Amino acid sequence: MYSGQNILVIGALSILTLLILNFYDSDSNQLSISLYNEAVVTATGLGQTVIEEISSKPFDEKVINQYVEVPDSLTPALSLGAETGETDIYLFDDMDDFKNYSRTDSLFRLGNFNINVDVNYVEETKPDIAVNVRTFYKLATITVTNPYLKGALKLNYIASY
């Protein structure tokens, strides 16, 4: 071969190498984006399932068998959470029993999804800020984490009485 042909072959191999590297790099990015999107959809579904479980429960322990006219009759803010004996989600009988509830759902493709719930009283005019006084409004914040998510996915559910 002539030196000119050698240069052309080396140039062609260099271009082919760059094309192959770019293809695998873009394929890897596409897989990463695909897994992220799948994790977001899955986390949203898991969070929505918890919201449905919460929304199926009465607003407060005090309203299960009676009507309450003033917020001071409701469970005190510092006492929100599962009562004695309510050790399992199936034993929860009102919304605030979900406070500090957590579970891990393991999926074959995406691994573990950690779900944490917090329930607090909120004011009608500021539903995103927890308060330590009883009101007729409660906010449940469901936080879902997974290695494929960038940070945590948070879903909120507001209930009123």
Average pLDDT, the chain: 89
Mean pLDDT of 108-134: 95
Helix (H) or strand (E) holding 117: strand 111-122
Whether residue 6 has pLDDT greater than 80 = no
Lowest mean pLDDT among 14-18, 36-40, 41-45: 14-18
Domains of the chain: total: 1
Q: For residue 104, name the pLDDT band (cuts at 50, 70, 90).
A: very high
pTM here is: 0.80
Strands 137-145 and 152-160: antiparallel
Residue 105: the pLDDT is 95
CB-CB contact of 43 with 146 (8 Å) = yes
CB-CB contact of 60 with 83 (8 Å) = no
Range of the domain at 107: 3-160
Residue type at 97? Answer: D
Backbone angles phi, psi at 138, to 5 degrees: -130, 145
Mean pLDDT of 128-143: 96
